[in-house]
């Protein structure tokens, strides 16, 4: 039984060593944003600006937009 356990431990150790020695994967290629994604980003920014403006407009005492 002890011999089988030692064998198992050695097998695990060798597999771990092999995993550590593997070459790192190549970095992925960064893709450009598609036009639809760019439009989505712009519309989100516009929506945030509109919401901020409406919030300020709801408070007549304070007119500054920060």
Over the stretch 3-52, which tens digit does the pLDDT of each residue have?
A: 888 889 999 998 888 877 776 667 778 888 899 999 999 999 999 999 99
Pure H helices in the chain: 2-21, 35-57
Using the predicted structure, report yes or no on whether residue 1 has a pLDDT greater than 90.
no
Cβ(64)–Cβ(56) below 8 Å: yes
**CA-CA distance, 9 to 14, in Å (whole number)?**
9
pTM of the model: 0.44
Q: Which residues contact 53 (CB under 8 A, 6 or more apart)?
A: 65
Using the predicted structure, report yes or no on whether residue 64 has a pLDDT greater than 70.
no
Distances from the Cα of 53 to the Cαs of 30, 41, 49, in angstroms?
Answer: 35, 18, 6
Segment 39-56, tens digit of pLDDT: 999 999 999 999 998 988
């Amino acid at each position: 039984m002890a011999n089988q356990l030692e064998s198992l431990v050695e097998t695990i150790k060798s597999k771990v060593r092999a995993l550590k020695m593997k070459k790192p994967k190549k970095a992925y290629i960064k893709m450009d944003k598609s036009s639809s994604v760019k439009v989505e980003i712009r519309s989100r920014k516009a929506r945030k600006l509109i919401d901020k403006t409406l919030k300020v407009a709801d408070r007549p005492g304070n007119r500054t937009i920060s």
